[in-house]
């Protein structure tokens, strides 16, 4: 849901440069103010600690135990058995990892460029630009669950629009787009693109507005055509936005969950790591250790873009 986060974070990074004057020092405050300020920090920090950071550490610890989640006395150390199981025995793990990778590649190669292209076209003071923007942006407001349902109506084997348009509806050739294990990941990716492209578009539109117009004028005076101007001058200047988009795309592909879960419970061709985690936690057979081992894999992979991103954002600060 909140893979959108870095956009704002990066965007507002601009503000950082504004005030460089030393701020009020904590030690200068009187006692009452110290107590107030400490509370203002302590309450949110405590909430983060208890509900985000401690659970993250616990996830790692739980991945080394065998536990059914019932009583703490049932906890048994398991060494790396859970990891051995998911890497060598569990049949869904490698397909899920491949699907996550495919998700990333598809968003990066198809969805993101569509968003960029729409932004470039709409940035040229086109008539009705706002109407186009509203249309392309509208899926961004929807939950991915709802997007799954709306596309289910479109993809349905017997009642869906797509098969009517293809002329196969009602015939044996009618494809079950969300049911066919070889095709459903592509069908889901197109639905995800519907949302992702609009989101990328709005970020790039904001980025393009921020590009100094004199840069483009200078480039066109030098005889550069539209594409040279864009790819040699404008695109490199938008580097901060480009980084945000890269991070969003990676994180979005790791977080993909809602849409595959609503389609078929993330089975039969739609396995993703995030959904496998959940399959071990809810339902009758709770195998907390294996679920946690999968969560740790997800954590380790996620830390790569997170660390890169944070080190860029906070480089000047530290």
Partner 1 sequence: MAVLHGQSARTRLKRPHYGTHLFLIAMAILWLIPFVWALFTALRPKADTDKYGYFSFGGAFNLDNFIAAWNQGGFATYFGNSVIITVPTVILTLLLASMMAFAVSRFTWKFNVTLLIMFTAGNLLPPQVLAAPLFEMFKHFNLPYSVSDSGNLLNTYVAVIAVDTAFQIGFCTFVLSNYMKALPQDLTEAAFVDGAGVWRQYWAIIMPLTRPAFAALGTLEVIWIYNDFFWPLLLIQSGNRLPITTAIHNLQGQFLSNYNLLAAGAIITIIPTLIIYIVLQKQFVAGLTLGASKG
Scan residues 119-158 and list those touching partner 1 (CB under 8 A). Answer: 121-122, 124, 126-127, 132, 134-139, 141-146, 149-154, 156
One residue of 77, 282, 285, 315 binding partner 1 per CB under 8 A = 282
Which residue lies nearer to partner 1 by CB, 185 or 288? 288
Give the 3-state secondary structure of residue 77: strand
The SS3 of residue 76 is strand
Window 206 to 265, contacts with partner 1 (CB under 8 A): 206-207, 209-210, 225-227, 240-241, 251, 254-255, 257-258, 261-262
Stretch that binds partner 1, among 83-91, 180-188, 213-221, 309-317 (CB under 8 A): 309-317
Name which of 269 and 279 has its Cβ closer to partner 1: 279
Is 104 a binding residue for partner 1 by CB under 8 A? The answer is: no
Query: In the complex, what is the shortest distance from the CB of residue 222 to partner 1, in angstroms, rounded to a whole number?
Result: 18
| Smallest distance, partner 1 to C-beta of residue 233, A | 16
What is the per-residue DSSP string for 181-193? TTTHHHHHHHHHH
Q: Which is nearest to 247 in space by CA: 2, 15, 59?
A: 2
Q: Tokens for 263, please give them.
A: 């389609």
Query: Does residue 101 belong to the site contacting partner 1 (CB under 8 A)?
Result: no
113 binding partner 1? (CB under 8 A)? yes
Tokens of 11: 């965007």
Place of tokens 């195998």: 287
Chain positions 38 to 77 lying near partner 1, rule: CB under 8 A, are: 40-41, 43-45, 47-48, 50-56, 58-59, 62, 69, 72
Taking the complex as a whole, the smallest distance from the CB of residue 32 to partner 1 amounts, in Å, to 7
Give the residue with the Cβ less far from partner 1, 180 or 206. Answer: 206
At residue 76, φ and ψ (nearest 5 deg) are: -130, 135
Measured distance CA(318)–CA(316) in Å, rounded = 6
Q: Does 26 bind partner 1 (CB under 8 A)?
A: yes
The answer to whether residue 105 forms part of the interface with partner 1 (CB under 8 A) is no
- Residue 138 CB, nearest approach to partner 1 (Å): 7
Q: How far is the CB of 237 from partner 1 (least distance, A)?
A: 9
6 binds partner 1 (CB under 8 A): yes
What does the buried/exposed string (b/e) look like for 76-110 if buried means 16 or more CB atoms within 10 Å of the residue's CB?
eebeeebbebbeeebebbebbbebbeebbebbbeb
Among 14, 101, 105, 304, binds partner 1 (CB under 8 A): 14
Of the candidates 267, 281, 308, 312, which one interacts with partner 1 according to CB under 8 A? 281
What secondary structure letter does DSSP report for 169?
A: T
Give yes or no for residue 308 binding partner 1 (CB under 8 A).
no
Residues 6 or more apart whose Cβ sits within 8 Å of residue 89: none
Q: Decide: is 177 part of the binding site for partner 1 (CB under 8 A).
A: no
Per-residue interface string for the shown chain with partner 1, residues 187-206, x marking contact by CB under 8 A: ------xx---xx--xx--x
Q: How far is CA 30 from CA 38, 102, 138, 299, in A?
A: 12, 57, 51, 42
Measured in whole angstroms, the distance separating CA 94 from the mean position of its chain's CA atoms is 20
- CA–CA separation, 311 and 318 (whole Å): 10
Distance of CA 102 to the CA centre of its chain: 14
């Amino acid at each position: 849901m909140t893979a959108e986060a870095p956009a704002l974070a990066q965007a507002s990074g601009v503000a950082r440069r504004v005030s460089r004057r030393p701020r009020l020092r904590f030690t200068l405050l009187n006692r009452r103010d110290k107590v107030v300020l400490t509370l203002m920090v302590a309450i949110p920090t405590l909430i983060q600690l208890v509900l985000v950071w401690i659970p993250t550490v616990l996830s790692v610890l739980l991945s080394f135990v065998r536990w059914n989640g019932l009583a703490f006395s049932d906890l048994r150390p398991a060494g790396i058995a859970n990891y051995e199981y998911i890497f060598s025995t569990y049949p869904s793990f490698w397909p899920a990892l491949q699907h996550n990778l495919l998700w990333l590649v598809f968003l990066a190669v198809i969805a993101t460029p569509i968003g960029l292209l729409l932004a470039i076209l709409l940035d040229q003071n086109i008539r009705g630009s706002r109407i186009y923007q509203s249309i392309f942006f509208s899926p961004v407001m929807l939950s991915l669950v709802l997007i799954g349902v709306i596309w289910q109506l479109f993809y349905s084997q017997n009642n869906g629009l797509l098969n009517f348009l293809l002329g196969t509806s009602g015939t044996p050739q009618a494809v079950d787009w969300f049911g066919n294990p070889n095709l459903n990941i592509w069908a889901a990716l197109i639905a995800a693109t519907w949302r992702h492209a609009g989101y990328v578009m709005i970020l790039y539109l904001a980025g393009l507005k921020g590009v100094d117009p004199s840069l483009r004028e200078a480039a066109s005076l030098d005889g550069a055509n539209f594409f040279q101007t864009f790819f040699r001058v404008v695109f490199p200047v938008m580097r901060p936005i480009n980084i945000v988009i890269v991070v969003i795309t990676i994180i979005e592909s790791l977080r993909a969950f809602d849409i595959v879960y609503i389609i078929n419970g993330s089975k039969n061709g739609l396995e993703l790591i995030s959904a496998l985690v959940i399959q071990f936690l809810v339902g009758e057979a709770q195998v907390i250790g294996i679920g946690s081992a999968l969560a740790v894999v997800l954590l380790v992979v996620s830390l790569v873009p997170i660390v890169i991103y944070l080190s860029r954002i906070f480089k000047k600060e530290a």
